[in-house]
Amino acid sequence: MDYFEINGLKKLNGIINVSGAKNAVLPLMAAAILNKGSLKISNVPQLSDSITMSRLLEEMGGKVKFNSDNSISLDTSELNKPFAPYDLVKTMRASFYVLGPLIARFGEAKVSLPGGCAWGPRPVDFHLSGLEALGVKISIENGYVVANGKNLIGSEIHFPKISVGATGNVLMAAIVAKGTTTINNAASEPEIQQLCEILNQMGANISGIGSNTLVIEGVDNLDLVSNVSVIPDRIEAGTFLIAAAASGEEVEVVNIIPTHLDSVIDCLKEANINVIIKKNSIIIKSSKNDILPTNIETSEYPGFPTDLQAQWMALMCLAKGTSTIKENIYFDRFTHIMELNRLGCNIKLEDSVAIIEGDKSLVGADVMSTDIRASAALIIAALSAKGVTKISRVYHIDRGYDKIEEKLTTIGAEIFRKK
């Protein structure tokens, strides 16, 4: 099984590129079910999750080809099996995105309850209740969601809590429902915005994009869309910005949309990191000795992303003083604490608040990845640690980062993938 070996205390300098967004490409691939034809998706990150979604579409009768120019060619004209088996859905929660478009296209679907990262329960209740509000009859049978929705009817839907996945799933069903659907407390993440935009290109009628209230006027038919380019991955970009703050001298993170990172930029500035914002890039100038403790709380977009919580924690272990992180999205998303402490960090957990005693001299050790973003946090800490760190179970990071070791090597990191 692959692992990373990292030689720490190497200064990072140079330019690092950001790939397309994992959290955008997966719902776009699911939306291809509605396209009923050929669709080319460009700027696709080479991730195991993208491969899993492609296998799922092929299992249902679609055709998928990965091209050498970081694009995917999809043809769903002959997709004819509204069934998503456990073997594929168990490995990636985003596979559940196929439920809404399958119902919209076929009026029925059978989709396995999802798996994915090992930390904590993330129930699909909001997905199901939202679809039921549209008139879908749902039952749970032997670990599968069995859905029947031949005659979808627009409805007023209010999510008790903002959910990116539920917003996307309900959207993709509601666009063909008769009448008007209003989704209150909807997710406004850039990835959901792009999904709305591509659905509108297909002929959907969605308004309120970028807000927490989406209004969908149902349509009878959808048009064929032939091309879409995935937005840059703001979580990968944030990871590189934090890595540069922790170990860098001057690093430019390029091919990004800076406004997607406003909350992260604000926190970096508060932590005494020099941030220079350009049109499509951000330059970080950092001295490891001058990082200030900064208290944060995770929140739905445009707040500080939960997917950068672990990485920020690694940075705060180097800050001069005590900082706190309150996790408001997934209350048990703290499996990385024990592994960071193995590297010399001093982190304690009280309820859903991590208390980080900074200004520590980190030392390399053998650690283990527990999920995608925890893996990134361990890399950031290892880059700042004296000696050698070995990170096992890096298949987690391969689900969310496109060749991260190669990218970090280009700016001076000594990180090696080994077997």
Q: What is the DSSP string of 339-367?
A: HHHHTT-EEEEETTEEEEE-----B--EE
Q: What is the pLDDT of residue 120?
A: 43
The answer to whether the beta carbons of residues 63 and 75 sit under 8 Å apart is yes
For 369-387, the pLDDT digits (tens) are: 999 999 999 999 999 999 9
d(Cα 64, Cα 70) in Å, to the nearest integer? 13
CA 40, 173, 259, 353 torsion: positive or negative? negative
Backbone torsions φ then ψ of 149, nearest 5 degrees: -150, 70
Domain ranges across the chain: 3-19+232-418, 22-229
User: Among 105-119, 222-236, 372-386, where is mean pLDDT lowest?
Assistant: 105-119
- Any bridge partners for residue 16, and if so which? 253
Check pLDDT > 80 for residue 150: yes
- What is the C-alpha to C-alpha distance for residues 144 and 148, in angstroms, rounded to an integer? 13
Short-list 95, 101, 110, CA closest to 148: 110
Q: Is the predicted pLDDT of residue 119 greater than 50, yes or no?
A: no
Percent of the chain at pLDDT above 70?
Answer: 98
Q: Which of 117, 196, 267, 317 is catalytic?
A: 117
Average pLDDT over residues 18-23: 97
DSSP state of 204: -
What is the predicted pLDDT for the residue at 118?
A: 44
Name residue 41's amino acid.
I
- Please give the CATH superfamily to which domain 22-229 belongs: Enolpyruvate transferase domain (3.65.10.10)
* Average confidence (pLDDT) over 397-410: 96
Residue 115 has what pLDDT? 59
pLDDT for 39-83, tens place per residue?
A: 999 999 999 999 999 999 999 999 999 999 999 999 999 999 999
Q: Does domain 3-19+232-418 have CATH number 3.65.10.10?
A: yes
Query: How far is Cα of residue 299 from the mean position of the Cα atoms in its chain?
Result: 14
Query: Residue 291: its pLDDT value, please?
Result: 96
- Residue (of 286, 234, 295) closest to 262 by Cα position: 234
Average pLDDT over residues 248-253: 95
Mean pLDDT of the chain: 95
Tell me the per-residue pLDDT of 252-286, one tens digit each, with 9 for 90 and over.
Answer: 999 999 999 999 999 999 999 999 999 999 999 99
* Catalytic-residue membership of 345: no
pLDDT of 323 above 80 = yes
DSSP state of 56: H
